[in-house]
Amino acid sequence: MSESHWLEVEDYKSPEGWTQPEEGPSRARGYCAALERGEILFFRQPPFAFSQEDGDFLLSQHWAELRMHKNVSYRPGDDILRGVSGDAAATARIHSALRNYSTRVIEFLSKFLSPYADRWILDFASFRPFEEDGRDLPLHKRNDLLHLDAFPSRPTRGGRILRVFTNLNPAKPRVWQTTGPFESLARQFAEDAGLRRIAESDSPFKRTVQEWGRRMGIRGMGRTPYDVFMLRFHDFLKENSRFQAGCPKVQLEFPPLATWIVFTDGVAHAVMSGQYALEQTFLIPPGALVAPDRAPYRILENIAGRPLVH
């Protein structure tokens, strides 16, 4: 385990917030910049009012008996819980636990990463109740292979995927592996993954079709060449057994109740083991980034020599 591969935050704590409030705005900007260059921000204790009661309830459920999808998900905008059905009282209690987590993380992040607040798009929160070690999932869905996140149903159009995780497990760490920075992965593999082909196949007709689909609200439409490439790159890295076996790896062990924040579209990650994590996702539009030159779409545009986002 190497703790130097995350940046431990010690100047923001729950419940008081910034330890030196007058420096809050400049610290917030500094942390946005750190995340954008690929750092993982680490808090030993949740930096928001975490409900231990909710946590205990989630841990006490017999998840194997509740009918479930890959994860339980919660959509903050519409207050909708998905991925679990069965006992109505238990479902309502799970719903309120995810609502509380989501609400508190959003409140926290609007102070801690204030340059992004009010500009982000709130995405899902999720609860991950299954042991990650030894999960039997199809290749492209495996969490234990290094990958960059890309959402088939929610193109970001150059925006970035920011995630806040909390390890709810009272006894076991959540174990990740990471590898080198986005730019070096892109320089090594973007060509083989089809960047040039995707960039060159962009056309006014395709744009019109995607834009039309987006306006109609069709799931997954509105993709730019960047979105098409990132979906392909996700699969390419998981399919590439030589890369998976041979790339340099750093192991990170997030202890019980640790909370961490990371742009998962820029930091390649694999979840090796761990059970019971909560998570809230934010989409940060390109215009809100403090260091847009570091954004994956800009790095890829430099490699491809043409725009990938429109």
Quickly count: other Cβ atoms within 10 Å of residue 187's Cβ: 14
User: Which amino acid, one-letter code, is at 297?
Assistant: Y
Rg of the chain over all Cα atoms, to the nearest angstrom: 19
- Cα distances (angstroms) measured from residue 253 to each of 3, 176, 247, 264: 9, 6, 19, 17
Rounded CA separation 184/113 (Å):
27
Burial of 215 (0-12, 13-18, 19+ CB in 10 A): exposed
Q: Which of 123, 149, 265, 301 binds Fe ion (CB under 5 A)?
A: 149
210 or 275: CB nearest Fe ion: 275
Q: Give the binding-site size for Fe ion (rule: CB under 5 A).
A: 1
Stretch that binds Fe ion, among 146-154, 207-215, 221-229, 241-249 (CB under 5 A): 146-154
CB of 12 or CB of 229, closer to Fe ion:
229
CB of 267 or CB of 290, closer to Fe ion: 267
> Quick one: 162 or 290, whose CB is closer to Fe ion?
162
Nearer to Fe ion, 123 or 149 (CB): 149
Taking alpha carbons only, the member of 108, 106, 82, 105 closest to residue 94 is: 82
Of 149 and 301, CB closest to Fe ion: 149
Q: Which two tokens stand for residue 111?
A: 């102070």
Which residues are paired to 126 by β-bridges? 73, 279
* Closest distance to Fe ion from the beta carbon of 270 (Å): 8
Rule CB under 5 A: say whether 265 interacts with Fe ion: no
What mask, x for binding Fe ion by CB under 5 A, covers residues 100 to 139?
----------------------------------------
Q: Which is nearer to Fe ion, 132 or 202 (CB)?
A: 132
Nearest to 280 by CA among 262, 257, 268, 254: 262
Footprint on residues 227-246 left by Fe ion (CB under 5 A): none
- Counting beta carbons within 10 angstroms of the beta carbon of residue 102, is it exposed (0 to 12), middle (13 to 18) or buried (19 or more)? buried
Q: Judging by beta carbons within 10 Å of its beta carbon (0-12, 13-18, 19+), is residue 108 exposed, middle or buried? A: buried
Closest approach, Cβ 247 to Fe ion, in A, equals 16
Cα–Cα distance for residue pair 33/236, rounded to 1 Å: 28
Return the SS3 of 261.
strand
Question: Which one of 14-22, 95-103, 143-151, 189-197 is the stretch in contact with Fe ion (CB under 5 A)?
Answer: 143-151
Q: From 36-44, 147-155, 228-236, 280-288, give the range in contact with Fe ion by CB under 5 A.
A: 147-155
Residues 2-21 that bind Fe ion (CB under 5 A): none
Q: Per CB under 5 A, which region of 25-33, 40-48, 141-149, 201-209 contacts Fe ion? A: 141-149
At closest approach, how far in Å is the CB of 93 from Fe ion?
27
Q: How far is the CB of 272 from Fe ion (least distance, A)?
A: 12
Residue sitting closest to Fe ion (CB): 149
Q: Which two tokens stand for residue 156?
A: 């970001």
CB of 145 to Fe ion, least distance (A): 10
For 186, 199, 245, 246, 304, the CA distances from 191, given in Å and listed in that order, are 8, 11, 20, 19, 9
Is there binding between residue 279 and Fe ion (CB under 5 A)?
no
Cβ nearer to Fe ion, comparing 149 with 202: 149
Residues engaged in binding Fe ion (CB under 5 A): 149
